[in-house]
């Protein structure tokens, strides 16, 4: 588990806490990071995501970082960049052919999870 002292939050991750798979993955990340604010969108919202429709909000993960809201597969790359062991995966998936494959894989899984959890939203 990450040793957390008072740190400045550098990023917000918006995730669907009503999705068991999403929640389990974020729980794993929470153990590895201290400077990220994880926001369960099934319970909380703020000014960075208020403009998103309910479908857009629950359909993909979102990251607010350096004044920008990043969604989908790119949001994972931004998040993984901050984690020592995950940074290498992020670097590989940023390569052009892998980035395209990662985006297709993410969008497919995200769509399946969205429809699986739609009744909980």
Enumerate the β-bridge partners of residue 63: 13, 70
Residue 14, SS3?
strand
Average per-residue pLDDT in the chain?
92
**pLDDT confidence bin for 10, thresholds 50/70/90:** confident
Q: How far apart are CA 88 and CA 90, in angstroms?
A: 5
The pTM (predicted TM-score) of the whole model is 0.90
Neighbours of 54 (CB within 10 A): 9
> How does residue 5 score in pLDDT terms, banded at 50, 70 and 90?
low
Residues forming a β-bridge with 12: 37, 64
Per-residue pLDDT, averaged over 85-110, amounts to: 97
Q: Report, in angstroms and rounded to the nearest whole number, the Rg of the chain calculated over CA atoms.
A: 14
Average pLDDT over residues 106-118: 95
């Amino acid at each position: 588990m990450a040793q957390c002292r008072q740190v400045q939050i550098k990023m917000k991750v918006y995730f669907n806490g009503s999705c068991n798979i999403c929640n389990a993955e974020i729980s794993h990340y929470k153990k590895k990071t201290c400077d990220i604010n994880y926001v369960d969108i099934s319970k909380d919202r703020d000014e960075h995501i208020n403009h998103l429709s309910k479908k857009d909000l629950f359909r993909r993960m979102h990251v607010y970082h350096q004044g920008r809201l990043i969604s989908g597969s790119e949001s994972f790359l931004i998040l993984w960049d901050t984690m020592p062991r995950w940074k290498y995966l992020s670097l590989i998936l940023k390569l052009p052919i892998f980035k395209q494959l990662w985006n297709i894989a993410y969008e497919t899984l995200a769509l399946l999870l969205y429809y699986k959890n739609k009744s909980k939203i």
